[in-house]
Amino acid sequence: MDFLPIFLNIRNKVCLVVGGGEVAARKAMLLLQAGAQVSVVAPELDSAFNAYVARGKINYCAECFQLEHLHNIMLVIAATNDRTINQQVSEAAQQRQIPVNVVDDPKLCTFIMPSIIDRSPLLIAVSSGGQSPVLARILRAQLEALIPVAYARVASIAGKFRQQVKQHFIHPEKRRLFWEKVLQGPFTEMVLAGKDKTAQDYLLQSLQHEKDESPQGEVYLVGAGPGNPDLLTFRAMRLMQQADVVVYDRLVSAAILDMVRRDATRIYAGKERNKHTLEQESINQLLVRLAQEGKRVLRLKGGDPFIFGRGGEEIETLASHHIPFQVVPGITAASGVAAYAGIPLTHRDYAQSCIFVTGHLKNKMIDLDWAHLARPNQTIVIYMGLLGLPVLCQQLIVHGLPSSTPAAIIQQGTTQKQKIVTGTLQTLPNLTAAVNLTPPTLIIVGEVVKLHQNLTWFEPTS
């Protein structure tokens, strides 16, 4: 994050706006809406200020900015059309440890003004870090349409019961579960329909029927897909926001992990070749223990948990201990990475079947049914085969595939670090060695690889 998003209480605090134009007037209006006492310094004021001056809403000083104007000021906004003056205001404020915003000049700011969705007491702020204010406004407009004005009443009514709920539930997890159940249920719909009294009665009845007992633990086995956050399912995102603990693998991208509830405990259980942070049996028992403690556990795996993800082993252990669980499929690397590489896994002119295998080396060998793999009109997708690529290509040739068979290896497919190397079974190992690819990678062998050049569409920026 370039800026820490915070909500600042400026009620009855003196804030300064330097500038008298229309932009300065808009900033003054925002400060007034937040309850601040607003002082404006400018040689003259735009007509946009007339209403504020007439009603005595601002304290106007008709002169150029001077250092003494910063005395006893909590916050400053510089909104003149003269960058020299704006820079002077910024430097003086920063020397005095006063938060300062310079309109449309992020380099001179210690805080920035976001686009705001106001459903007070519910506030939502959208910011691009000063890089694209128009984009922030577009996103704000989209959110405005999705969030009814009545959510202000939802927040206010919930706030009235907050202390009562806190006293009723000793366990914080149980308290959070209660609010999630209420706010995602009939209560909110009643408020949105204008039935505030009915909604309050419902909330009170719900509270009286809920016992303060240790919450029931559960495990969510969720596929995180091949790396691009846009490829997560809606259900995956919902459970990511509900979990108390997340146990995640090496193949879960940082961008996806950032979408997990921020106060959830994170436990890394990644596996790299010959380097396991936790052995599989230890992971199985960890999930059991956390659930028995009443935690909602998100087991987050790259790709799909049931395709080379050992998800079956984990839920077998959970089932044997009578732990409730859910399974949320993810887009497996084969389909996601192939799509982003412009390589259809099947095509009636090239391949009528597709097979997935793993390419782990063991004692410099790979134990696969080579005769079954080396068939014409079939696409072979090999997971985790970077280190064993020379062996894979050699064995497929030995068992009958032509050395000219098209093949590709894709690094970190679907992400901005995607890199594709194409060749043949004979040339791909040397081509790959020359560009120093890093895991995770996916290998695709078959005539469909020929289509990559014409069908490629994804253009990573890095």
Report pLDDT for 174: 85
Establish if 417 belongs to a structural domain.
yes
324, 380: one domain: no
pLDDT at residue 35 tops 80: yes
Check the annotation: does 189 bind a ligand. no
96, 159: one domain: no
Report pLDDT for 29: 94
Range scoring the smallest mean pLDDT among 293-307, 352-366, 369-383, 385-399: 352-366
Check the annotation: does 329 bind a ligand. no
Nearest Cα neighbor of 42 from 95, 70, 79 is 79
Report pLDDT for 294: 87
2, 83: one domain: yes
Catalytic residue among 27, 174, 249, 295: 249
The residue out of 113, 134, 167 marking a domain boundary is 113
Q: How confident is the model at residue 443 (pLDDT cuts 50, 70, 90)?
A: very high
Distances from the Cα of 138 to the Cα of 26, 50, 132, 432, 462, angstroms = 18, 29, 10, 43, 26
Q: How confident is the model at residue 210 (pLDDT cuts 50, 70, 90)?
A: confident
Report pLDDT for 446: 97
Report pLDDT for 462: 64
Q: How confident is the model at residue 179 (pLDDT cuts 50, 70, 90)?
A: very high
Q: Provide the strand spans (E) within 48-104.
A: 58-61, 75-78, 100-102
Calculate mean pLDDT across residues 11-19. 97
Check the annotation: does 311 bind a ligand. no
Report pLDDT for 131: 86
228, 285: one domain: yes
Tens digits of residue pLDDT in 399-441: 999 999 999 999 999 999 999 999 999 999 999 999 999 989 9
Report pLDDT for 370: 94
Nearest Cα neighbor of 49 from 69, 82, 27, 33 is 27
Check the annotation: does 384 bind a ligand. yes
Check the annotation: does 413 bind a ligand. yes
The residue out of 300, 331, 362 marking a domain boundary is 331
Q: Which bin fits 7, alpha (ψ -120 to 50), beta or left (φ > 0)?
A: beta
Domain count, the chain: 4
CATH number for the domain harbouring residue 274: 3.40.1010.10
Check the annotation: does 332 bind a ligand. yes
Q: How confident is the model at residue 177 (pLDDT cuts 50, 70, 90)?
A: confident
Calculate mean pLDDT across residues 288-317. 94
318, 367: one domain: no
The residue out of 113, 140, 160 marking a domain boundary is 113
CATH number for the domain harbouring residue 380: 3.30.950.10
Report pLDDT for 223: 97
Q: How confident is the model at residue 366 (pLDDT cuts 50, 70, 90)?
A: confident
Check the annotation: does 226 bind a ligand. yes
Domain of 385, in residue numbers:
339-455
Report pLDDT for 133: 86
Establish if 172 belongs to a structural domain.
yes
Establish if 132 belongs to a structural domain.
no
Calculate mean pLDDT across residues 321-348. 96
296, 251: one domain: yes
Report pLDDT for 362: 67
Tens digits of residue pLDDT in 102-121: 999 999 999 998 989 999 99
Q: How confident is the model at residue 95 (pLDDT cuts 50, 70, 90)?
A: very high
Tens digits of residue pLDDT in 270-288: 766 555 568 899 999 999 9
Check the annotation: does 5 bind a ligand. no
Establish if 27 belongs to a structural domain.
yes
Report pLDDT for 272: 62
Q: How confident is the model at residue 157 (pLDDT cuts 50, 70, 90)?
A: very high
Check the annotation: does 138 bind a ligand. no
Distances from the Cα of 255 to the Cα of 226, 232, 252, 258, angstroms = 12, 11, 8, 5
Burial 78-110 (b: 16+ CB within 10 A, else e): bbbeeeebbebbbebbeeeebbbbbbeeeebbb
382, 448: one domain: yes
Establish if 128 belongs to a structural domain.
no
191, 279: one domain: no
Report pLDDT for 273: 57
Tens digits of residue pLDDT in 380-394: 999 999 999 999 999
Report pLDDT for 242: 87
Report pLDDT for 71: 95
Calculate mean pLDDT across residues 66-78. 97
Establish if 30 belongs to a structural domain.
yes
109, 25: one domain: yes
- Is 249 a residue of the active site? yes
Catalytic residue among 195, 271, 417, 450: 271
Report pLDDT for 211: 78
User: What torsion do the CA atoms of 133, 135, 139, 140 make, to the nearest 10 degrees?
Assistant: 20
pLDDT at residue 245 tops 70: yes
Report pLDDT for 105: 92
Q: How confident is the model at residue 365 (pLDDT cuts 50, 70, 90)?
A: confident
Check the annotation: does 302 bind a ligand. yes
Average pLDDT, the chain: 93
Report pLDDT for 145: 87
Establish if 430 belongs to a structural domain.
yes
Selected residue with higher pLDDT from 1 and 183:
183
SS3 (DSSP) at 417: coil
CATH number for the domain harbouring residue 90: 3.40.50.720
Q: Which of 36-40, 169-173, 249-253, 272-276 ranks highest by mean pLDDT? A: 36-40
Check the annotation: does 23 bind a ligand. yes
Amino acid code (one letter) for 203: L
Tokens 């380099």 correspond to what residue? 107
171, 235: one domain: no
Check the annotation: does 180 bind a ligand. no
317, 366: one domain: no
Query: What's the token pair of residue 238?
Result: 């919902």
- Is 271 a residue of the active site? yes
Report pLDDT for 364: 66
Q: Looking at the whole model, is its pTM more than 0.85?
A: no
Q: What distance in Å separates the CA atoms of residue 29 and residue 49, rounded to the nearest whole number?
A: 9
Check the annotation: does 324 bind a ligand. no
Tens digits of residue pLDDT in 51-68: 888 889 999 999 999 999
193, 237: one domain: no
Establish if 87 belongs to a structural domain.
yes
Distances from the Cα of 100 to the Cα of 63, 93, 94, angstroms = 20, 6, 7
